[in-house]
Amino acid sequence: MDGLSGFSALDIAIAVIVLWSLYRGFKVGLVQSLVGLLGWFATLYMGTHYARSMAHVFASVVTDPVLQTALAFLVIVLLMLTIVWGFSMLLKSLIDALALTPLEKLAGGVFGAARGVLIVLVIMSLIGSWASKEKWWQQSILAPSLLPYAPLAINVGRDLATTAWDELNSKPHVSEQSPLEIKQHHPDVERTH
């Protein structure tokens, strides 16, 4: 246990996050890890991009337009996650059949470790400004070394969140509006079915 004596509780927490993510990446492999990550991006994109245009589907369930949009977002996200999971399982069975498992699992571990570091950087960027004055932070070996890279992680996250938020709040295109919305905004337009 002498080897860990220089590490603070924060260092151990950082190591646990990175090692857990490495383990998860190794366990599921690179393809499933990548499909999972890309699936989340695709899911959030689809949810934010199409929630407003699908909100009218839930008009009979809830009357509040904000709740209609939230419900549409939730349904889209759940459907997308189900599709991504199915696709991930299909790819996993293909990789297992091709006997690429050891190399693929090793690459998954590397990817998982990188994902763990990214998670740590995002957390550090959120708490670093006030936590850096605390004794437990100053005793850390890893935190001061990682802190300079934290803004990069938060900028990427902020850009993704801003894009998603802007997409949700953008005015829908005419093609994305329900027939009732089109008639209300453009009374001279008659839609034929």
Euclidean distance between CA atoms 33 and 54, whole angstroms: 30
**Residue 52 counted as domain residue:** yes
In a domain, 192, yes or no: no
- Provide the token pair at 167: 């997409």
Q: Looking at residues 37-43, what average pLDDT do you find?
A: 84
Residue 167 inside a domain? The answer is no
Confirm whether 150 is domain-assigned: no
Assigned domain for 96 exists: yes
193: in domain: no
- Amino acid letter for position 52: R
Largest CA distance in the chain: 80
178 closest CA partner among 163, 169, 168, 189: 189
Note the pLDDT of residue 151: 82
**191, pLDDT greater than 60:** no
Give the domain range for residue 113.
9-138
What's the gap between Cα 103 and its chain centre?
26
pLDDT in the model for residue 91: 83
Does a structural domain hold residue 143? Answer: no
- Model pLDDT, residue 44: 83
Mean pLDDT of the chain: 81
Contact residues for 65 (Cβ-Cβ < 8 A; gap 6+): 55
DSSP 172: P
Residues whose CB is less than 8 angstroms from the CB of residue 160 and which lie 6 or more positions away in sequence, other chains included: 41, 44
Quick one: pLDDT at residue 174? Answer: 45
pLDDT greater than 90 at residue 122: no
Lowest mean per-residue pLDDT among 40-49, 105-114, 182-191 = 182-191
34, part of any domain: yes
| Structural domains in the chain (count) | 1
- Give the model confidence (pLDDT) of 52-65 as tens digits: 899 999 989 888 88
Q: Does 21 have pLDDT greater than 90?
A: yes
